[in-house]
Homo-oligomer: A and B are copies of this chain.
Amino acid sequence: MRKIAVVDDFLTPAHCDTIRAAAAELGFAVDFYPDRLLPAGHEGDYEILFGRCSHETLKSAKNLKWYCCSFAGVDDLLRDELYPNPNVVLTNSSGAYGITISEHVIMVLLMMMRRMPEFEELVRQQQWQREMPMRSIRGCSVTMLGTGDIGTNIARRVKGMGAKTVRGVRRTQKPADPAFDEIYTFEHLDELLPSAEVLIMAMPSTPDTIGILSRERIALLPKDALVINVGRGTAVDQDALIEALEEERIAGAALDVMVPEPPEKDHPLWHTKNLLLTPHTSGNMSLGLTCDLIVEEFCADLRSYAAGLPLKHLVDRSRGY
């Protein structure tokens, strides 16, 4: 019988039942490995792996045809030599993270606009101050780098809260969700940055995006710019961003991703002025809804796989997402 190994620890009994039922219907047997280790000598039993596999597990799965990873960022999974053969199909679970990551973005954006870290510090010191200059999502202009599922969920929410303009910036000029008022390609970024009041980055790590927010580009941002990164830390010249924040050349930043994670003990990121640092929580798996969606989307792609149809979350390994 064709076999699937589920190699992850987030699944509830209900998730396991869902996967088992979908698999049985399509003629697959499923084994679950919540400790993420396949039994030695049995790696070759599986046609499909789902979850978070180590590089060793992947490489040793000699008869592997499809690996569906349970996360979104696949920069670590692009090289052919990771796989037992170059024809292994890779899919990700990017569609499961749009809701949770967009809620993180709305939260940190409002926290910066409404001076929440400063108010929290005042309250910790039992001080009472009511007035600090605030800003609003209503009427603001948002520049969104990355227009995939995550960028689209963010765009819809800021638009719903009354953002005046949402500009999407992406690799290629293709139709995007109606929540984007305008779509640009990366080559127009330099023209957009001087008016990027709110700059949100939700991009995979690819040759196009590594270092995309360079020192030169940070210098183009307006003084009131708020920068949010929920993609990959490699997208930002971190030293230049820290300098811009310390010198108040931009108004604030919220980084959920950085290099490295966590920062070293003496790294300036821990204490940078007007920086809201979170430990890569925007898309963590502690939200049940995210886990439900990961399972749901795997089962949907499993049906397509069994029917020989294209997989919805197929990763183009040469492109990087």
Interface residues of A (CB under 8 A from B): 99-100, 103-104, 106-107, 110-111, 113-114, 116-117, 119-120, 122-123, 126, 128-139, 157, 160-162, 261-262, 265, 270, 277-281, 284-287, 289
The 6 closest A-B pairs by CB, nearest first: A160-B160, A107-B110, A128-B262, A134-B287, A131-B286, A134-B286
A128 to B278, CA, bound (A): 9
* Residues of chain B within 8 A of A120, CB atoms compared: 117, 120
* Residues of chain B within 8 A of A130, CB atoms compared: 279-281, 284, 286
A132 and B286 within 8 A (CB): yes
A103 and B161 within 8 A (CB): yes
* Residues of chain B within 8 A of A107, CB atoms compared: 107, 110-111, 114, 116
Partner of A134, one of B100, B116, B126, B279: B100
* Residues of chain B within 8 A of A139, CB atoms compared: 289
Given A107-B116, A161-B106: A285 and B131 within 8 A (CB)? Answer: yes
* Residues of chain B within 8 A of A135, CB atoms compared: 287
A122 and B279 within 8 A (CB): yes
Residue of B nearest to A285 (CB): B131
Residue of B nearest to A135 (CB): B287
* Residues of chain B within 8 A of A111, CB atoms compared: 107, 111, 116
* Most chain B C-beta atoms within 10 Å of own C-beta, residue among A123, A133, A270: A123
A132 to B287, CA, bound (A): 9
Distance to closest chain B CB from A252 (angstroms): 14
